[in-house]
Amino acid sequence: MNWKSFCFLAVLVGLAMVFPPGLLADVPAVSFTGVTTNYTDGSWSLGFEFSTNTAVNVTALGFYDAAQTGGSVGLGTCSGCGEVGIYNSTGTLLVSGLATTSGTLVGDFYYVPVATTLLAAGQDYYAVAETANADYTYFTTGFGVNSNINFIQDAFVSSTTLAFPTSSDGYTAADGGAWFGANFETSGSTEIPEPGSFVLFGTGALGVAGMLRRKFLGI
């Protein structure tokens, strides 16, 4: 291994010190291990209200596929279903996409990639999916929430197309979450590292490079 290779390795080590490996992994907004029931009762735009604890980048939108949990009408057999979107608190649609069974299945949700969309910290948003005639669920078990968001409550509106939800039954995380419905994935950190982080990186990289150079030169 030559000296340039050692320097490159030192830079990689320094980056790992400042930016942990799991930082850029896609993480679902919510997850659950089981459902109580699946059923259909009209066409709805339904999902949940949440706030952001930090700025996050939305990279994909997910639609609950009831076929994964024994439902009779899933994403692959429903008609007019699968559109997912995120609205801000004033009802503006920020990002949307149509999930299909050709997308990526994570848990019980099929995801469709979307243009990276920044959600500012400390704001309220709504993740909503259009069910049409697809089965949906609620009162899930093993419910978990991404630490970057705060789950507020369920949200819904009767509609045959994706629409801003205007009603809620007041179901919270303690009730197993919302009507599902919608999900989304976030990726990476949108926070700019503080100057001290760059100093740490530079110091770490130089230190590692120095040690490798001494080892390489035998001094």
Q: Are 132 and 40 in contact (CB under 8 A)?
A: no
Q: Is the pLDDT of residue 17 over 70?
A: no
Q: What is the pLDDT of residue 217?
A: 52
- Three-state SS for 146? coil
Q: For residue 27, is it left (φ>0), alpha (ψ between -120 and 50) or beta?
A: beta
Compute the distance between CA of residue 157 and CA of residue 166 in angstroms, rounded to an integer: 6
Q: Give, for 10, the enclosing helix (H) or strand (E).
A: helix 3-18
Compute the distance between CA of residue 126 and CA of residue 128 in angstroms, rounded to an integer: 6
Q: What is the pLDDT of residue 219?
A: 57
Task: Please state the rounded mean pLDDT for residues 53-81.
Answer: 97
Pairing mode, strands 144-145 and 136-138: unpaired
**DSSP at 48:** E
For 158-194, the pLDDT digits (tens) are 999 999 999 999 999 999 999 999 999 998 544 434 4
Closest residue by Cα to residue 114 from 25, 26, 23:
26
Q: 26-187 in CATH: which number?
A: 2.60.120
For 83-108, the pLDDT digits (tens) are 999 999 999 999 999 999 999 999 99
- How many CA within 13 A on the CB side of residue 46? 26
Compute the distance between CA of residue 19 and CA of residue 122 in angstroms, rounded to an integer: 24
Compute the distance between CA of residue 104 and CA of residue 69 in angstroms, rounded to an integer: 17
Q: Is the pLDDT of residue 196 over 90?
A: no
Predicted confidence band at 155 (pLDDT cuts at 50, 70, 90)? very high
Q: What is the pLDDT of residue 23?
A: 47
Compute the distance between CA of residue 142 and CA of residue 108 in angstroms, rounded to an integer: 13
pTM: 0.77
Domain ranges of the chain: 1-21+191-219, 26-187
Task: Please state the rounded mean pLDDT for residues 18-39.
Answer: 79
Q: What angle do CA 124, 110, 62 make, to 5 degrees?
A: 10
Torsion of CA 134, 75, 137, 113, to 10 degrees: -130
Q: What is the pLDDT of residue 213?
A: 54
Q: What is the pLDDT of residue 201?
A: 45
- Three-state SS for 18? helix
Q: Which residue has the tokens 């770490």?
A: 204
Q: What whole-number percentage of the chain has pLDDT above 90? A: 73
Q: Is the pLDDT of residue 15 over 50?
A: no
Cβ neighbour number for residue 27 with a 10 Å cutoff: 18
